[in-house]
A = this chain, B = another copy of it.
Amino acid sequence: MSKGAIVTRAEDFPRWYQEVVAGAEMAENGPAAGTMVIRPWGYGIWELLVAEMDRRIKEAGADNAYFPLFIPESFLKLEADHVEGFAPELAIVTHGGGKELDEPLVVRPTSETVINSLFSKWIQSYRDLPLCINQWANVVRWEMRPRLFLRSREFLWQEGHTAHATEAEARAYALQILNDVYRATMVDVVGIPVLTGHKTPRERFAGATHTWTCEGMMGDGKSLQMGTSHELGQNFAKAFDITFSTRDGGLEHAWQTSWGASTRLIGALIMGHGDDGGLRLPPALAPAQVVVLMIKEDEAVRSAAAALVAELRAAGHRVRLDDRTETSFGRRSVDWELKGVPVRVEIGPRDLVEGNVTVVTRHTRVKETLPLAGVGTEVAAILARVGPELLAEATSFRDDRTVTVDSLDAALEAGATGFARIPMKVLGDEGEDRLGAKAMTVRCLQRADGTLAEEGDADADLVAVVGRSY
């Protein structure tokens, strides 16, 4: 049970975030430092998000599989950039079955290396390509400043790994995932208007030749990297000897991609839509889309509530009945607000006598007294509006905090509270150093019109989106 009122975003955004996570019973710290317990409300959101992403991943032609948690330490060392990128974050198993192991095992920070070692067995011929594999799994990275959903020492994610016959096919697939899986899920389902672009060399994934990213603006103006799709070139193919015989009898290294999105998306959902009352959920991700709340225990109230729950369920909505009348009405209302349930229907004996109920729309906090008869239609109409309205609100918030600038100083100012768009010609590599000194980074590079760079675009001709980030 939550504690009720929380601090406002304006007072203390990080504390507000923590209080929403705790108050909405989404997650809490596990007993081992830096680990996370995802409670049913948070996990229910994750399940819905997984289903949405998984469907799109399968439509993009990838098959799910599962790879081992433990990786021999020697494997990680096969790709030089990769091991350098991950070495400081590893958890190491040194003992198993009561004995010290001959070779320590790394708890996967990503399955890149183990999957590539298998790709080298599975891929022989051009007929085996493209090979597109996805995994839903837990991974471990030894974060020093853990925050629930945003940076925990263990998190849940999907990681896709693919191999293709040509560089062009690999690029096309990396972009298909970026656009049709990530961007589509983040915009259409999570309701966050992500910017897409590619990372500068210093921000790339360890071992990638290109990292494409989705960046969402959070309620404090900071950016959150919500998913990345990498082109790996032939780096891992060479390190792991992934070769295929070509149609005309040659032998070539495969071209690869990898891509991931994680429980971090729940952090984005909280910080992208939350208000001072707590979470605001788009119906697509709400474990309960409607709560029917009995104000008091009363025969007429109970029977009206049961009938409404049945009607709404029959209409295909996810509905909870709140009949915990031993707990105060006010406390329960605040709890459902915190949890972000899109629509609340309150049924009490007095209103019911007149045939009325109270309908509360979470994202606008509008409260209406409406006739019980026909309220199902009204609820459906509200639910249809919530997602688009949350997206529109997040979009105008982002646009209000995005400034196009033509000097580094202006970028440093605007980037502190939102996004600064600055030509890479103006920023340059040295400017990127200076951003770092102010805890800012280039979130992504785009064309001036906000579209992705195309073959032949030099980074110097693009615009850098600059901001602070999680």
Hey, which bits of chain A sit against chain B, CB under 8 A?
A: 28, 30-32, 35-40, 43-44, 46-47, 63-72, 75, 87-98, 104-105, 107, 114, 117-118, 127, 133, 137-138, 140, 142, 144, 153-154, 156, 324, 326-327
Q: A87 — which chain B residues lie within 8 A by C-beta? A: 98
Q: Which of B72, B92, B97, B142 contacts A88 (CB 8 A)?
A: B97
Residue of B nearest to A75 (CB): B31
Q: Which of B31, B43, B93, B142 contacts A97 (CB 8 A)?
A: B142
Q: How far in angstroms is the closest Cβ of chain B from A78? A: 11
Q: A137 — which chain B residues lie within 8 A by C-beta? A: 138
Q: How far in angstroms is the closest Cβ of chain B from A35? A: 4
Provide the bound-state CA to CA distance between A187 and B67, in Å. 29
Specify which of A30, A36, A75, A94 lies most central, judged by the most chain B CB atoms within 10 Å of its CB: A30
Q: Which of B67, B92, B98, B144 contacts A93 (CB 8 A)?
A: B92
Provide the bound-state CA to CA distance between A38 and B66, in Å. 5
Are B72 and A31 in contact, CB atoms less than 8 angstroms apart?
yes
Provide the bound-state CA to CA distance between A153 and B105, in Å. 13
Are A98 and B88 in contact, CB atoms less than 8 angstroms apart?
yes
Are B93 and A156 in contact, CB atoms less than 8 angstroms apart?
no
Inter-chain pairs besides A32-B70, A70-B91, A92-B93, 10 sampled, C-beta below 8 Å: A36-B68, A38-B66, A40-B64, A44-B64, A47-B64, A69-B138, A94-B94, A94-B95, A97-B144, A127-B327
Q: How far in angstroms is the closest Cβ of chain B from A341? A: 15
Are B39 and A65 in contact, CB atoms less than 8 angstroms apart?
yes
Residue of B nearest to A127 (CB): B326
8 CB contacts below 8 A, A to B, read: A32-B105, A35-B69, A66-B156, A68-B154, A70-B153, A70-B154, A95-B104, A137-B138
Are B97 and A67 in contact, CB atoms less than 8 angstroms apart?
no
Known contacts A88-B98, A92-B96, A95-B94; A40/B69 CB under 8 A: no
Provide the bound-state CA to CA distance between A98 and B67, in Å. 24
Specify which of A66, A98, A140 lies most central, judged by the most chain B CB atoms within 10 Å of its CB: A66
Q: How far in angstroms is the closest Cβ of chain B from A328? A: 13
Are A90 and B97 in contact, CB atoms less than 8 angstroms apart?
yes
Are A68 and B37 in contact, CB atoms less than 8 angstroms apart?
yes
7 residue pairs, one from A and one from B, having the closest CB atoms: A97-B142, A35-B68, A30-B68, A40-B63, A38-B66, A92-B95, A32-B70
Q: A39 — which chain B residues lie within 8 A by C-beta? A: 65
Q: Which of B32, B37, B70, B144 contacts A118 (CB 8 A)?
A: B37
Are A32 and B107 in contact, CB atoms less than 8 angstroms apart?
no
Q: A98 — which chain B residues lie within 8 A by C-beta? A: 87-88, 90, 142
Are B71 and A32 in contact, CB atoms less than 8 angstroms apart?
yes
